[in-house]
Amino acid sequence: MPAPKFEQIYKQIKTEIETGIYRNGDYLPSEHSLTARFDCTRNTVRRALAMLEAEGYVLPLHGRGVQVIYIPQSDKSLFTIGGIESFAEAAERNNIKYSTKLISFELIKADEKLSLQTGFDIGEELYLIKRLRIFNGKAIIYDTNMFLRSETEGLTVEIAKQSIYQYLERELHMTITTSRRRVAAEKATREDKRYLDLGRADFVLSVTGQVFNSRGIMFEYTQSRHVPDRVTFIESAVRQKI
Amino acid sequence: MPAPKFEQIYKQIKTEIETGIYRNGDYLPSEHSLTARFDCTRNTVRRALAMLEAEGYVLPLHGRGVQVIYIPQSDKSLFTIGGIESFAEAAERNNIKYSTKLISFELIKADEKLSLQTGFDIGEELYLIKRLRIFNGKAIIYDTNMFLRSETEGLTVEIAKQSIYQYLERELHMTITTSRRRVAAEKATREDKRYLDLGRADFVLSVTGQVFNSRGIMFEYTQSRHVPDRVTFIESAVRQKI
DNA sequence: GCCGATTTGTCCGTATGTATC
DNA sequence: CGATACATACGGACAAATCGG
């Protein structure tokens, strides 16, 4: 089963924008000619363009054409978060070497307070895993993950020391489909100060999220506490027409 | 010209989810029956559902149905940022009274450094406007806006004291279409400390963004520095199928 | 395990409207 | 005004996943 056509087109055009074949301010070829180029209908081309629009690569202008608004970012921060990525994937994309230190690995039950915070049902068994992410000898991310036991059976300390997502995807054949993220700046806790290399900062950038699998079950609640100035969080938004 | 059909459907279903007619874990009626209900084709229904998916309200499950994954957030923070909103709109949505204090209003020219930071061309004339947002007597947001003069002619101190977006949309008939945002936690500067009611915190949540109008011109660069713990930034993401 | 009904996923082709040039 | 380009919407075909009998 090959990748869907609209996705191939999306990736192709995205690559052409990123490599500078189409530059900021340029217009893409018209939908009509893209239709000819990719041998498909306008609907399919438009779907690919909609994805590029959602990611802030292009801006369709009624009656004129589809303008490229991609400005390559000279990003100084270590991490760029956007979309769904595991830590390992982000590190790879950012071309960074890292190591992971397992702080703790427990099996707990969700009480009422935790249920309210995370969205897990009361009484559910959860793996509570805390890990430290280390770059160049500096601890810059403190991850707390809670996995629904019933969906992630077989999780071990050994796996937690490596990549949990790799285990879920390759061994359990789980597909991660969607997540919701919240970003907030928070005062550093005692735990943060103990584990993270905060330097003179006494605050962290906290990213929490719920992750769903392809069966529609929320199987993970995650909180990442980042040393500030090392992370940027990027989104692009399209204004609702009123 | 009425609102497009797919948008009406999107809003209707969204409201029904938010008011609890469909609850977390429920399945929406099938696309087929929604087609009947809204008297349109499946394509149109699917477009509305795609919007709800992108916002993290629902999760379509192949062969099963469209599951609601909306968990009402008991949000303690004052502001919830997501999508494109002016400050005034966000305040209204969050049902909050506020006032604005104009700090400065200048006309400047973009130099090389500023050009690199903002994306404006070197030599462009910009309105540089700094404003303070105040709630219940506390200054919690420090806004710095740069508007391209050629696109926002007629901007005055008086307008800056009110809502600039209202002026742009109602008077200049400008349409804001898309924006890209970056979120980062940063150490408070002397300016932050001077103007913001930071309490014991010595850091801010910085949100920067570029805003485009419907002619494809980036006419605004904006930076908002928020008192932490008052803001949450929410996004939902859908994982790329690999 | 198979089969058929249901449901979502992809894609096609077409028609009409609207903005720009 | 006509040509071009994007926007919305219709209707239909087939594929793929799920579920119940």
Q: What is the mean pLDDT of chain B?
A: 84
Q: Of A94, A91, A90, A34, which is closest to residue A58 (Cα–Cα)?
A: A34
- Given a cut of 80, whether residue B29 has pLDDT beyond it is yes
d(CA B218, CA B188): 28
Kindly state the tokens that stand for A120. Answer: 């897990």
Rounded distance, CA A168 to CA A151, Å?
A: 9
| Closest residue, CA to C1' of D8 | B4
Alpha-carbon distance of A208 to A180, in angstroms, equals 8
CB B65 within 8 A of CB B33: no
Q: What confidence category does residue B178 fall into, taking pLDDT thresholds of 50, 70 and 90?
A: low
pLDDT in tens, B104-139: 999 999 999 998 888 898 999 999 999 998 887 889
- Confidence (pLDDT) at A72: 73
**Sequence-ordered strand ranges (E) for chain B:** 58-61, 65-68, 79-81, 99-109, 125-135, 138-148, 176-187, 203-213, 218-226, 231-238
**Does the pLDDT at position B6 exceed 60?**
yes
- Nucleotides on chain D that have an atom closer than 7 A to a protein CB are 4-13, 16-19
User: Distance between CA atoms of A8 and B11, rounded to whole angstroms?
Assistant: 31
Q: How many residues does chain B have?
A: 242
| Distance of alpha carbon B188 from alpha carbon B154, whole angstroms | 33
Q: How confident is the model at residue B242 (pLDDT cuts 50, 70, 90)?
A: very low
Residues in B touching A62 (Cβ below 8 Å): 214
Tokens (6 digits) for B9:
């459907």
CA distances from residue A113 to A57, A122, A123, A147 in whole angstroms, order as listed:
41, 9, 11, 17
- For A48, phi then psi, to 5°, come to -65, -45
Q: Which helix (H) or strand (E) holds A88?
A: helix A87-93
Q: Is residue B179 pLDDT above 60, yes or no?
A: yes
A108 lies within 8 A of chain B by CB: no
Nearest alpha-carbon partner for B231 in B201, B194, B200, B206: B206
Total residue length of chain A: 242
pTM: 0.82
Q: Is A179 on the interface with B (CB under 8 A)?
A: yes
For residue A242, what pLDDT is reported? 31
Tell me: the pLDDT tens digits for B202-223?
Answer: 888 888 888 888 788 889 998 8
Please, which contacts does A57-60 make with residues 24 or more away whose CB atoms are closer than 8 Å?
A57/A14, A57/A17, A58/A17, A58/A28, A59/B177, A59/B178, A59/B212, A59/B216
Size of interface A-B (CB pairs under 8 A): 166
**The predicted structure's pLDDT at residue B241:** 38
Q: Which two tokens stand for residue A190?
A: 């005692």
Where in A114-217 does DSSP place strands (E)? 125-135, 138-148, 176-187, 203-213
The pLDDT score that the predictor gives to residue A162 is 81
Partner A, chain B 43-62, Cβ-Cβ below 8 Å = 53-54, 56, 59, 61-62
Phi, psi of B195 (to 5 degrees): -100, -35
Which pLDDT tens digit goes with each residue over B42-101?
999 999 999 999 888 999 999 999 999 887 765 555 555 555 455 555 666 666 778 889
Q: Is A60 strand, coil or helix?
A: strand
pLDDT for the residue A109: 96
* SS3 state at B118: helix
Q: What is the pLDDT of residue B44?
A: 98
Nearest to B216 among A61, A178, A239 (CB): A61
Regions of chain A with pLDDT less than 50: 74, 76, 84, 239-242
pLDDT of residue B146: 95
Distance, in Å, from the CA atom of A84 to the CA atom of A234, rounded to the nearest integer, reads 12
Percentage, residues of chain B above pLDDT 90: 44
pLDDT of residue B237: 56
Mutate to test the interface with B, among A69, A174, A225 (most CBs of B within 10 A): A69
